[in-house]
Amino acid sequence: MAADFLDIADFGYDDFFAASFKKEAESGELPARVVGHNRHYYEICCEKGRISAKMSGAIRYASVLKSELPAVGDWVAVSIRQDKGYIRRLLPRKNYFSRRSAGGVVDEQVVAANIDIAFLVMSLDENYNLKRLQRYLSIAAAARINPVILLTKSDICEKLDEMVGEVAAISGRVPVHAVSSFSKESFMLVNSLIKPRETAVFVGSSGVGKSTLVNLLLGEERLATGKVSAATNKGQHTTSARELILLKSGGIVIDTPGMRELQMWQDEELNGFGQTEELAKMCRFADCLHETEPDCAVKQAIEEGTLSAELFEMWKKQQAETRELRIQKERSLKILETRRAKRKKGK
């Protein structure tokens, strides 16, 4: 266990979390932030330093969704015995970036919690994919997290202005920046966007340069980086686990593994399609399907060239996926809640 005293305010502990902790604090508990996680242990930072901690059986027993377990960025209540920590409770989250778990299981995977700014990272090479970027925008909007788009590898892009323009056309008011890991200006830009004691998460596919950007901010090669595979033109996984890191500037960053499969979980509203959503409100019929209905503002915009037909198809596809996911979630959650009720009854 680290011997140095830590000021947990440097890790983002503010009045919101302090109030949540004090409300149900038990004797001997300390507030701590989850800064790392592997198969067996969590890495946490509390006033006593950085230590390894295990999750209590009570949390594991009461949780039926993966999202109910601690994730990197979470604040938790811990008890410490000698050099060992035990996570007793998960404090309420301000927000969190999540996705549907990969595979056939209908469950939610929390990528990072308590985020002030989400850097949506896409490279200007074979990883350039507007549909994937649109999905990231929608997830960030549904989670109430402020997004910023970073287009990496700008130094090797031959169609920079054109590609930046395409991204700007679908991003609405979300800031878009073309950056390079070899540019001092890029470092200064990204560093200026991360305020002291605020948390930023870097999300994107494998090989787009997330870890390279974090290393640039750190001023050292702390995180492993890799290249895009010449055989598949796909990024190679270099970050295998999420990690929260404190910058010298006082900001906080979370690096995440690349995500090739990205399905929404939070479906309260469709966001990231600002122009399409506004046009849909102008249609003659409130339930317009934008197919054969008269006075359809969406169809008219496509015909006039003011709305991309491709963007409209992306919007329709996401609506359909969201409806299907809602049905699957309702079915799955009924099963999980029945399981939770049985556990409580068996106490």
**For residue range 49-65, what is the model confidence (pLDDT) as tens digits?**
999 999 988 887 777 77
Q: Write out pLDDT tens, residues 6-45.
A: 899 999 999 999 999 987 777 789 999 999 988 789 999 9
Residues 86 and 21 in one domain: yes
Can you give the pLDDT at residue 278? Answer: 85
**Both 47 and 130 in a single domain?**
no
What pLDDT score does 268 carry? 44
For residue 317, report the phi and psi dihedrals to the nearest 5 degrees.
Answer: -65, -40
| Four-CA torsion 118, 122, 128, 134, nearest 10 degrees | 0
DSSP string, 111-159: EEES-SEEEEEEESSTT--HHHHHHHHHHHHHTT-EEEEEEE-GGG-TT
Whether the Cβ atoms of residue 167 and residue 176 lie closer than 8 Å to each other: yes
* 125 and 168 both lie in a single domain: yes
pLDDT at position 297 is 94
Residue predicted with more confidence, 130 or 265:
130
Q: pLDDT tens digits, residue range 121-147?
A: 999 998 898 888 988 888 888 888 999
- For residue 343, pLDDT beyond 70: no
* Separation CA 84–CA 86 (nearest Å): 7
Summarize pLDDT for 193-209 with one digit per residue, the tens: 999 999 999 999 888 98
Of 258, 244, 246, 255, give the one whose Cα is nearest residue 43: 244
**Domain match, 141 and 46 both:** no
Question: At a CB cut-off of 8 Å and minimum separation 6, what does 117 contact?
Answer: 145, 146, 147, 148, 193, 194, 198, 199, 200, 201
Report the SS3 class of residue 322. Answer: helix
Q: How many domains does the chain have?
A: 3
Residue 3 falls inside a structural domain:
no
Phi, psi of 170 (to 5 degrees): -105, -10
Clarify whether residues 85 and 102 are in a common domain: no
pLDDT at 339 (0 to 100): 67
pLDDT, average across residues 176-193: 92
**123 and 23 both lie in a single domain:** no
Residue 240 has pLDDT above 70, yes or no: no
Same domain, 82 and 136: no
Flag the least confident range among 108-122, 143-157, 253-267.
Answer: 253-267
Report pLDDT for 259: 60
* Interacting residues of 100 by C-beta distance below 8 A, sequence separation 6+: 106, 107, 108, 109, 263, 264, 265, 325
The parent domain of residue 115 ranges over 96-255
Residues 137 and 219 in one domain: yes
- Concatenating the DSSP letter of every residue in 184-197 gives HHHHHHHHHHS-TT
CA distance 136 to 129: 11
- Domain identity same for 85 and 200: no
170: amino acid identity, one letter: I
Q: Which amino acid is at 11?
A: F
Nearest to 11 by CA among 30, 32, 28: 32
